[in-house]
Homo-oligomer: A and B are copies of this chain.
Amino acid sequence: MDLDVVFLGTAASMPTAQRSPAALLVRRGSERLLFDCGEGTQRQLQRSAIGLPDLQEIFLTHFHADHFLGLPGMLKTFALRGRDETPLTVYGPRGLRELFNRLHPFLGRLPYPLTVVELDAGERLERGDYTIEAFAVEHGAEALGYTIAEPERPGRFDVAAADALGVPDGPARGRLQAGDEVAVDSGRTVTPADVLGEPRPGRKLVLTGDTAPSPRVVQAAHGADLLVHEASFLSDEAERARETMHSTAAEAAEVARLAQVRLLALTHVSPRYFGPELADEARATFPETVVPRDFDLIEVPFPERGAPQLVKSGARPPRSDPVEAPMIEPS
């Protein structure tokens, strides 16, 4: 089951030529979950090789404009494309319904079912083979982070052990994998523990949205494969980070260290930074840090198959940009 996070928008508060406002797409198998939807998110998707899918679930972390101004345009585009059945659910903290009341004049009547769901910290959405859980962060009254977690998987089936114990090929092995005991021809009873290795951990992604450094994030992110943490500032702006309830790169790294995550990805990059200086500061505390650029993605394999990995990526240059054409004159 593939799992990755596509960094559609990595800017803090306002876009730049390089970075679009906040938006992350989590892809798990055929599922597509969008977290935050800054202005221009629909076009970031269109400009990527992903295209704009008929998203069915969008999660907002909080209600600052740089995290939701892309919603009305995207929801209208779905309508203009003729979407009339596929339901859309938007999740977010308390206040989401009020936000939609205010957005209503810009949305008009949408031809597809739209459900708005307010979540409290600690609320968990069960998805069969994974869960999405909201947790409180520190960014003013109503702000949530999200954990996407898979349950433990059964241990690996030891074919050699099963052969040696005389477990026949076929359904008997399936029953052992499912946790049942099986009697074999020798008269012996084989237990799952006889043929299964240690249970294997599922994967865990944690997305903080905007937050000051917080023990709640440490707790939520404990042992995560990937922590996507905001880092709006460097340490020399720590005071400003406190005032605005944001984090410095060093603080995000300390959270990652305490939470013992496998990889830290910093996002919500202020226009004053390029990215590498944030990575440098964080790596002094937590070496496994990356600062993705827009359209980069991070693949999160099952732990036994390798470490989470940043895949740098260019978006397709928009086809409207002829490479050899002259530049617009600076003015």
Give A contacts to B, CB under 8 Å. 6, 13-21, 27, 39-40, 42-43, 46-51, 53, 65-66, 69-70, 72-73, 76-77, 80-81, 102, 105-106, 293-295, 297, 311-331
Contact B73 A328 (CB under 8 A): no
Shortest Cβ distance from residue A77 to the other chain B in the assembled complex, whole angstroms = 4
> Which B residues are CB-close (under 8 A) to A16?
46
Give Cα distance in the complex from A18 to B318, angstroms.
5
Closest 9 CB pairs of A and B: A314-B321, A40-B40, A39-B73, A18-B320, A314-B325, A49-B328, A293-B320, A14-B77, A17-B46
User: Assembly of this chain: how many copies?
Assistant: 2
Contact B65 A76 (CB under 8 A): yes
Contact B316 A327 (CB under 8 A): yes
Give Cα distance in the complex from A51 to B17, angstroms.
8
> Which B residues are CB-close (under 8 A) to A311?
326
Give Cα distance in the complex from A295 to B39, angstroms.
19
Shortest Cβ distance from residue A328 to the other chain B in the assembled complex, whole angstroms = 4
Contact B50 A330 (CB under 8 A): yes
Question: If A20-B43, A49-B327, A326-B311 touch, does A14 touch B80 (CB 8 Å cutoff)?
Answer: yes
Question: If A102-B105, A106-B102, A330-B50 touch, does A17 touch B321 (CB 8 Å cutoff)?
Answer: no
